[in-house]
Structure 1
Amino acid sequence: MTTPVEVRYFAAAAEAAGRGAEQVLLPAGTTVGGLLDLLAERHGPALRDVAARCALLVDGVLHRDRDAPVGAPTRVDVLPPFAGG
């Protein structure tokens, strides 16, 4: 089973992905790391490099642990470190 998710990219992540948002189908049981890997496969090494430093907001809840499951969210925000972060 898959879940359609809106993925929004911000700052350096948007630049690396070449877009501000997209729809992604997530397989059941996807982890934070699995989602970041899937996005890097879609958009290449520039996003992989940025994603290694990103945190995710999954339906508004901060996720940093790559092994944490993302569940069945409706929206995921990819947040690179901002100035001073």
Structure 2
Amino acid sequence: MQITIRYFAAARAAAGTESTVVDVDDDATLGQLETTLAGTNPDLERVLARSSYLRDSIAVCDRAVRLGPCKTLDVLPPFAGG
């Protein structure tokens, strides 16, 4: 399946883009997707480890959870003051 990944704040800076589209297996977990997204980018890997996620506008925290069918995943790094 294809998922649009939207990066915000520090995640955008580390990824070097606002968004990207990735192909993942239908049974992929959030943790597996993080590994794919980080690839060989250690800066992005560090940001992803601290980030929270919105899967089609619903919060996802457990990295072992399967993504299931979805269209968009927002990457939300910690923001100043919150």
Question: Which 4+ stretches in 1 moved above 6 angstroms?
Answer: none
**Cα distance in 2 for residues equivalent to 1:35 and 1:73:** 13
Superposed, 1:1-85 pairs within 5 Å as: 3-41=1-39, 44-85=41-82
Aligned-residue sequence identity (percent) comes to 41
Residue aligned with 1:22, SS: strand
Q: List gaps (5 residues or longer) in structure 1.
A: none
- The alignment covers a number of residue pairs equal to 82
Deviations 1:7-51 (A, max 9, x none): 10000000000000011111121111111111001x610000000
C-alpha RMSD over aligned residues:
1.0
Deviations 1:37-84 (A, max 9, x none): 11001x610000000001110000101111111111100101101112
Residue aligned with 2:45, SS: helix
TM-score, normalised to structure 1, is 0.91
Q: List gaps (5 residues or longer) in structure 2.
A: none
Question: Which amino acid letter does the alignment assign opposite residue 14 of structure 1?
Answer: R
Residue aligned with 1:48, SS: helix
Residue aligned with 1:27, SS: coil
